[in-house]
C-alpha cells in the first residue's frame, strides 16, 4: 500500500510547502462537478444509439438498451460518477473511496474517455466517416471529454522540484525535464492512506468476498466470450483502467485484506467460482480456451516455485511440460506410440510427473551450483536440447521414440472410472462438452498444485527458498544447504509441470516439438511462462494464475493483428512493468522493494498471499 504524500513531504528546494497543482486550470469545485456530471452523462449516453446501421459489430443502433462497447463505457461512466459523488462525502458512498476519490476519478474518467473515443473512431473508420454517427455518439464523445477535463483539474500536491545540473548535456537536460513531468503525473495519481476499515461481522466479510469472486467470474467470462475484435480491445482498456481506478480508490487493497483474513475460504470459493465457468458457456470453444488457460496457469505456478520462491532464473521450463506430455502420450495407447502401452489415466499421469521430476534432478544436479545469468543460459540450453532431441528421435537421425517432427498423434481421450472425458454429458440439465470435462479435470490438478505450493511455501524448506532468493551467501552462512534446497525446488517445479503436461497431451490429441519452444506466438512457452510469473506477481498464488490467464487470453484474441500481435503484446508488457513493477498481485516483500514509501507490515505474511 502506497502512502499519500503530504505537503510536508513534497517541499520545494527552499523547504516551503509545495503549491497545490492541477493538470488543467479549472477551479476545484467546478472540476469536481464537471467530472461527476460528465460521468453521469456518459452513463446516460449509453442508452442512445451511437450509429445508424448494424454494420458495425455489436449493434449500437438501439435506443434504451446498451450493446457491445456501450456496456464498457457505461461501467466506467458509472464509476466516474460514483467516485465523484463519494468525493462530496455523500452518505452511503463514503465506503467507495477509503484511499481518496481524486486519483480514482482521474483513472475512471480517462478509461471512459479512451474507450468511448476508441469506439467513435472505430465506427468512423469502419463505416466511412463521422457522418455515420448518431447523436448518441457525439454525446458520449463530449461527455467523456468533459469528465476527463474535470478529473484532470482536481488538485494534488506537486512533488518538490529537483534543480538541474547546469553542467549537464542537452540529453541529460531532456531526461531531467521528462523525469520532472513524470513525477508530476505520478503525484496526480498518488494513492492516499486507507481509512480505517469498518468493523464487519465474519459472515458479511465472507459475503463481500463471494460477491467479488462472482464479479470476477463475470468479467472473465465476458472477456473470453467477446465476439469481435473491437469489443475485446475495448474490454482490455476498460478492465485495465477499471482495475486501476478501484485500486487507487482503496477497494482492491481493502478486498486483499479481507481475502488474507479468510484465505482458506477465499481459496475454496475461488475454485467453486471457476467450476461454475463451464455452466456459463454455450459454446465448447470457449471452454477450450478455459482449459488451456488452466494448463498454462498450473505450469506457471510450478515455475513460480523455481523463480518466485527460490529465485532461480529458469529459461527452459517449458521443456518439463514437454517431458510430461511426451511420457504420458507414449503410454496412453496412441497408435503412433512405439511402446504399444495403454495405461489407465492415473498411471499415465504419474508416469508424466515422475519423468519430469527425473529430468529435473538430472538437469539440476550438475547445473544448480551456478548462479544468475549462468544458470539462465544453461536452462535455456536444456530447453533447446529437449526440443532438438525429440525432433531427431524419429528412427532416422536417432532411435524411433517420438516420431520426430510428426510427434505422437491420435492420443485417445481419458476414461476415469468409466467416465469418458471425450463425450458430452448432461449435468444438472446442462450439456457439458469434451473441453468442459477436461476443464473440471484440470481444475482438480490446479487445486493439487495450489495445495502443494501453499504447503511447501509455508514450510521450513519454503523459508529456506526465500532465504536463498534474498541472499544466498547469507543463507549459506546460516547453515542452509543451498544446493540441496535448490535441487528440491527444481525437482518439485518440474514435477508439477509434468503433471500438467500429462493432461495437455490428451486435451490436444497430439504432442509435437514445436509446442515446446522458448518463444513463439502461441503459449505456453518459456518466455510467456516467465512473463506470467513476473507480471502476475512472483511468490504469490493468485498472481501467476492471473498473469497466465491474461497472457494466454490476449494472444489468442489478438490473432487478427497478424505480424503486429507480438509488438502490441510487448508494448502492453512494458507499460505494466513500468506502472506496476511488483506485479499485478504483489507479494508484500516485493512491494516493499519497489516502493520505498510503502508501509511495512509488522509481520510479513505467509507465502502465497
| Same-domain pairing of 236 and 327 | no
pLDDT band at 595 (very low <50, low <70, confident <90, very high): low
| Same-domain pairing of 125 and 29 | yes
The three-state secondary structure class of 151 is helix
Integer CA distances (angstroms), 228 to 19, 223, 560, in order: 47, 11, 10
* For range 33-41, the mean pLDDT: 95
Q: What is the pLDDT of residue 395?
A: 74
* For range 176-182, the mean pLDDT: 75
pLDDT band at 85 (very low <50, low <70, confident <90, very high): very high
Q: What is the pLDDT of residue 521?
A: 60
Tell whether 563 is covered by a domain: no
pLDDT tens digits, residue range 563-592? 777 777 778 778 777 777 777 887 766 666
Domain that holds residue 424: 302-547
Tell whether 318 is covered by a domain: yes
- Considering only CA atoms, which of 576, 608, 607, 609 is closest in space to residue 594? 576
Q: What is the pLDDT of residue 559?
A: 74
Q: What is the mean pLDDT of the chain?
A: 83
Cell 460477491 appears where? 211
| Same-domain pairing of 307 and 244 | no
* For range 123-131, the mean pLDDT: 90
Tell whether 35 is covered by a domain: yes
* For range 164-179, the mean pLDDT: 72
Integer CA distances (angstroms), 609 to 278, 387, 603, in order: 27, 35, 13
The domain boundary residue, chosen from 547, 563, 592: 547
Q: What is the pLDDT of residue 522?
A: 65
Q: Is the pLDDT of residue 597 over 60?
A: no
The three-state secondary structure class of 102 is helix
| Same-domain pairing of 232 and 109 | yes
Q: What is the pLDDT of residue 591?
A: 67
Q: What is the pLDDT of residue 483?
A: 87
| Number of domains the chain is built from | 2
Strand 20-21 and strand 430-432: the pairing is: unpaired
Tell whether 507 is covered by a domain: yes
Provide the CB-side half-sphere exposure for 369 (13 A, CA): 2
The domain boundary residue, chosen from 195, 228, 255: 255
Q: Which of 75-79, 119-123, 543-547, 561-565 has the lowest mean pLDDT?
A: 561-565
Q: What is the pLDDT of residue 594?
A: 62
Between these two residues, 595 and 351, which has the higher pLDDT value? 351
| Same-domain pairing of 196 and 321 | no
Tell whether 483 is covered by a domain: yes
| Same-domain pairing of 326 and 461 | yes
Tell whether 264 is covered by a domain: no
Q: Is the pLDDT of residue 285 over 80?
A: no
pLDDT tens digits, residue range 373-428? 888 888 888 888 988 988 888 877 778 888 888 888 888 888 887 787 877 777 77
The domain boundary residue, chosen from 529, 547, 565: 547
- Considering only CA atoms, which of 187, 162, 516, 581 is closest in space to residue 322? 516
Q: What is the pLDDT of residue 600?
A: 45
| Same-domain pairing of 320 and 221 | no
Cell 499519500 appears where? 4
* For range 279-300, the mean pLDDT: 84
CA 10 to chain centre: 33
* For range 49-77, the mean pLDDT: 91
CB of 516 closer than 8 Å to CB of 388? no
Q: Is the pLDDT of residue 476 over 50?
A: yes
Integer CA distances (angstroms), 583 to 530, 538, 544, 546, in order: 12, 7, 9, 10
| 563 contacts: CB under 8 Å, gap ≥ 6 | none
| Same-domain pairing of 243 and 148 | yes
| Same-domain pairing of 91 and 236 | yes
| Same-domain pairing of 315 and 244 | no
The Cα 318–Cα 501 span in angstroms is 9
Tell whether 6 is covered by a domain: no
Integer CA distances (angstroms), 139 to 133, 143, 230, in order: 10, 6, 20
Integer CA distances (angstroms), 506 to 17, 191, 296, 345, 570, in order: 66, 47, 15, 10, 31
Q: What is the pLDDT of residue 11?
A: 34
Is 0.85 topped by the overall pTM?
no
Amino acid at each position: 500500500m502506497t502512502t499519500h504524500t503530504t505537503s510536508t513531504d513534497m517541499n520545494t528546494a527552499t523547504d516551503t510547502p509545495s503549491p497545490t497543482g492541477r493538470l488543467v486550470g479549472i477551479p476545484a469545485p467546478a472540476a469536481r462537478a464537471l467530472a461527476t456530471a460528465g460521468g453521469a452523462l456518459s452513463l446516460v449516453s449509453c442508452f442512445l444509439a451511437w450509429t445508424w446501421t448494424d454494420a458495425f459489430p455489436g449493434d449500437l443502433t438501439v435506443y434504451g438498451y446498451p450493446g457491445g462497447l456501450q456496456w464498457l463505457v457505461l461501467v466506467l461512466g458509472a464509476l466516474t460518477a460514483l467516485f465523484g459523488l463519494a468525493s462530496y462525502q455523500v452518505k452511503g458512498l463514503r465506503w467507495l473511496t477509503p484511499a481518496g476519490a481524486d486519483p480514482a476519478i482521474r483513472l475512471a474518467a480517462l478509461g471512459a474517455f479512451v474507450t468511448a473515443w476508441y469506439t467513435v473512431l472505430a465506427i468512423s473508420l469502419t463505416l466511412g466517416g463521422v457522418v455515420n454517427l448518431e447523436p448518441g455518439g457525439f454525446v458520449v464523445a463530449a461527455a467523456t471529454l468533459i469528465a476527463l477535463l474535470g478529473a484532470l483539474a482536481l488538485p494534488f500536491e506537486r512533488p518538490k522540484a529537483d534543480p538541474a545540473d547546469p553542467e549537464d548535456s542537452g540529453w541529460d537536460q531532456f531526461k531531467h525535464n521528462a523525469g520532472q513531468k513524470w513525477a508530476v503525473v505520478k503525484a496526480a495519481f498518488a494513492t492516499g492512506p486507507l481509512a480505517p476499515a469498518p468493523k464487519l461481522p465474519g459472515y458479511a466479510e465472507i459475503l463481500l468476498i463471494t460477491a467479488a469472486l462472482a464479479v470476477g467470474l463475470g468479467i472473465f467470462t465476458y472477456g473470453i466470450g467477446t465476439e469481435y475484435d473491437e469489443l475485446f480491445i475495448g474490454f482490455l482498456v476498460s478492465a485495465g483502467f477499471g482495475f486501476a481506478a478501484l485500486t487507487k480508490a482503496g477497494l482492491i487493497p481493502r478486498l486483499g485484506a479481507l481475502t488474507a483474513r479468510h484465505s482458506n475460504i477465499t481459496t475454496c470459493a475461488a475454485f467453486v467460482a471457476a467450476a461454475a465457468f463451464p455452466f456459463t458457456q454455450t459454446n465448447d470453444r470457449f471452454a477450450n480456451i478455459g482449459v488451456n488457460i488452466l494448463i498454462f496457469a498450473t505450469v506457471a505456478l510450478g515455475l513460480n516455485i523455481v523463480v518466485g520462491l527460490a529465485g532461480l532464473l529458469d529459461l527452459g521450463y517449458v521443456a518439463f511440460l514437454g517431458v510430461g506430455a511426451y511420457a504420458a502420450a507414449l503410454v496412453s495407447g496412441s497408435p503412433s506410440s512405439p511402446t504399444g502401452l495403454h495405461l489407465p489415466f492415473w498411471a499415465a499421469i504419474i508416469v508424466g510427473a515422475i519423468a519430469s521430476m527425473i529430468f529435473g534432478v538430472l538437469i539440476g544436479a550438475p547445473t544448480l551450483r551456478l548462479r544468475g545469468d549462468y544458470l539462465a543460459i544453461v536452462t535455456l540450453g536444456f530447453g533447446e536440447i529437449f526440443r532438438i532431441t525429440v525432433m531427431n528421435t524419429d528412427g532416422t537421425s536417432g532411435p524411433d521414440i517420438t516420431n520426430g517432427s510428426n510427434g505422437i498423434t491420435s492420443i485417445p481421450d481419458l476414461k476415469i472410472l468409466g467416465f469418458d472425458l471425450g463425450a458430452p454429458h448432461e449435468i444438472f440439465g446442462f450439456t457439458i462438452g469434451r473441453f468442459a470435462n477436461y476443464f473440471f479435470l484440470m481444475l482438480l490438478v490446479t487445486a493439487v498444485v495450489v495445495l502443494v505450493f501453499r504447503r511447501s511455501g509455508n514450510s521450513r524448506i519454503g523459508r529456506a527458498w526465500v532465504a536463498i532468493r534474498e541472499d544466498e551467501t547469507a543463507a549459506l552462512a546460516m547453515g542452509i544447504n543451498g544446493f540441496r534446497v535448490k535441487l528440491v525446488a527444481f525437482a518439485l517445479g518440474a514435477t508439477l509441470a509434468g503433471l500438467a503436461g500429462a493432461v495437455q497431451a490428451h486435451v490436444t490429441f497430439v504432442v509435437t516439438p514445436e509446442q515446446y519452444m522458448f518463444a513463439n506466438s502461441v503459449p505456453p512457452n518459456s518466455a510467456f511462462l516467465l512473463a506470467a510469473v513476473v507480471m502476475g506477481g512472483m511468490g504469490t498464488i493468485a498472481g501467476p494464475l492471473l498473469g497466465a490467464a491474461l497472457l494466454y487470453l490476449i494472444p489468442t484474441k489478438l490473432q487478427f493483428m497478424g505480424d503486429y500481435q507480438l509488438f502490441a503484446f510487448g508494448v502492453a508488457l512494458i507499460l505494466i512493468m513500468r506502472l506496476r513493477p511488483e506485479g499485478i498481485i504483489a507479494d508484500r516483500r516485493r512491494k516493499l522493494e519497489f516502493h520505498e514509501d510503502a508501509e511495512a507490515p509488522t509481520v510479513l505474511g505467509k507465502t502465497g498471499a
